[in-house]
Structure 1
Amino acid sequence: MTKTLLGKIAPERVKSLDIERPPQDLIDGFKALGDASGIVSDVMDHLGIAATLPGSLLKPTIPGATIVGPAMTLRNTVMTGHPVDNARAHRNGMAEIEAHNIAEQGDVLVIEGVPGLSNMGGISAQVAKRQGEIGAIVSGGVRDVAHSRRVGFPVWATEVSPITGKWRIETIEINGPVQIEGIRVNPGDLVVADDTGVCFIPRDRAREVLELSRKRAAAEDARCDAIDRGVAIRDLPSAS
């Protein structure tokens, strides 16, 4: 199906309507690991990929939620003009609706946002859910958390704020590279998020990370089984 924009953002600011996403078998492989941000983070340490953020920084709005999917990226900045003047003139610079419009089933919206303000609210979360997105990662504030919980749309955000971004934020790019708390995320990179944290896996390293994560998960399962069987501490399988 041909994708078209809604006219909420200049076309040249949308870098791609169709991003290159990881193969489904890779996504399914990471899903099978469960809440595995710790394992994935360990593997990325060994591979020299510094792309994990803790759950204490990117706080999940729905406890127990686990998502795995390709990043669809959006970048916001502070809008010019006074918010009161912008509100009176109905100058709304936010355009995450364009990202929802071109989203595909299973995408994760990753927003380089503005701190102290809401970069995404409840209605936006509801639209995202309907469009097939499975969650959002926001460097910046979000609001209407009860609404997003009610529709079952998990969000990991650095802040919660009731202050609207409508008259204060401008979306300047969709599906270009973004910076999430110092980590570069490209559209199509794989996002793994759970209660513990968020891992951003470069798309071209995802298969390598998955293979090693499977091995580490199997080793941890064997160690846990040995603990349950009463194996002496000195004889437990190595954790490395």
Structure 2
Amino acid sequence: MAGKVLTGKIDPSRIRLTEIPHLPSEIIEGFRELGDASSAVSDALDYIGVAGAVASSTLISVIPGATLVGHALTLRNMKRNGDIHLAARERNSQTAEVEAHNLAGKDDVLVIQGVAGISNMGGIGAQMGKRQGEVGAIIDGGFRDVADMRRLGYPVWSTERTPLTGKWRIEAVEINGPVTICGIRVNPGDLVVADDTGVCFVPIAHAAEVLEYARKKTAAEQRKSERIAAGASIVELAGGKS
């Protein structure tokens, strides 16, 4: 952890990595050039035999129309035991969202295996994250301060929204270790692609292969769309004889 100044919000032994792996910038930009890419990326994941897609009905975007491409910076939370009201009076927080933002950099996505019914992230954290270079967050669990996220232009995809603070209800277990998001295993550095259709998690080792397939898929669909607009018959489009 040399060179990293930590906030002390979590035991350093619970931080697996202070710097996550990053893909070459041309791969990140390649995915961004695809636009709303989750469908093509999901098809590519099917092709290579990797489960990684989650529907937007499960992970819902707080900013309609937003897209996101970046590297997973992971945080795993669990529900905390003890007297919530005593913890609140004593200001005894065991969350570590701030430490995660502290470790974030350009093109990172905060990916939280969170707690249901409780906020795992709020508006102040989003402001910190955006300043650090984060492009958004994915949360299996709740978050709050919806208006702040929209005002900041910090997109979040989550399973829940709630005003109930996690400060006294959540304990941070680990930063930058493996997490499970809606049944999908995500490792730090994995590629995250999200839009209005859904969220895809691409293992970093497969990112270049997925990009190549997604480009071909997008180009083929564009050609077919142009043929539809030009008046090609359904039989022609289906590959049959006219």
RMSD: 1.1
Q: What per-residue deviation string (whole Å, max 9, x for no partner) do you get for residues 176-207 of structure 1?
A: 00000111000000000001100000000111
* Corresponding position of 2:209: 208
1:44-123 aligned at under 5 Å gives the runs 44-123=45-124
Residue 57 of structure 1 aligns to a residue in which SS?
Answer: coil
Give the Cα–Cα distance (whole angstroms) in 2 for the partners of residues 85 and 195 of structure 1.
Answer: 41
C-alpha displacement of 1:2? 2.4
Give the Cα–Cα distance (whole angstroms) in 1 for the partners of residues 163 and 200 of structure 2.
Answer: 27
Give the ranges of 4+ consecutive aligned residues of structure 1 lying more than 4 Å apart after TM superposition.
none
* Corresponding position of 2:176: 175
Does the CA contact (< 8 Å) of 1:69 and 1:192 recur in 2?
Answer: yes
C-alpha displacement of 1:237? 6.2
TM-score (normalised: structure 2)? 0.96
Which amino acid letter does the alignment assign opposite residue 197 of structure 1?
A: G
* Corresponding position of 1:165: 166
* Corresponding position of 2:150: 149
Does the CA contact (< 8 Å) of 1:223 and 1:237 recur in 2?
Answer: no
Residue 93 of structure 2 aligns to a residue in which SS?
Answer: coil
Runs of at least 5 residues in structure 2 that lack an aligned partner in the other structure: none
Q: What per-residue deviation string (whole Å, max 9, x for no partner) do you get for residues 35-70 of structure 1?
A: 010111011112111110000000000011001000
Name the count of aligned residue pairs: 238
Residue 86 of structure 1 aligns to a residue in which SS?
Answer: helix
C-alpha displacement of 1:172? 1.1
Residue 126 of structure 2 aligns to a residue in which SS?
Answer: helix
Residue 164 of structure 2 aligns to a residue in which SS?
Answer: coil
Correspondence 1:232 to 2:227: no
Q: Identity of paired residues, percent?
A: 56
Residue 148 of structure 1 aligns to a residue in which SS?
Answer: helix
C-alpha displacement of 1:163? 0.4
Runs of at least 5 residues in structure 1 that lack an aligned partner in the other structure: none
Which amino acid letter does the alignment assign opposite residue 66 of structure 2?
A: A
C-alpha displacement of 1:120? 0.5
Give the Cα–Cα distance (whole angstroms) in 2 for the partners of residues 38 and 147 of structure 1.
Answer: 29
TM-score (normalised: structure 1)? 0.97
Give the Cα–Cα distance (whole angstroms) in 1 for the partners of residues 233 and 221 of structure 2.
Answer: 16
Give the Cα–Cα distance (whole angstroms) in 2 for the partners of residues 85 and 77 of structure 1.
Answer: 19
Correspondence 1:188 to 2:210: no
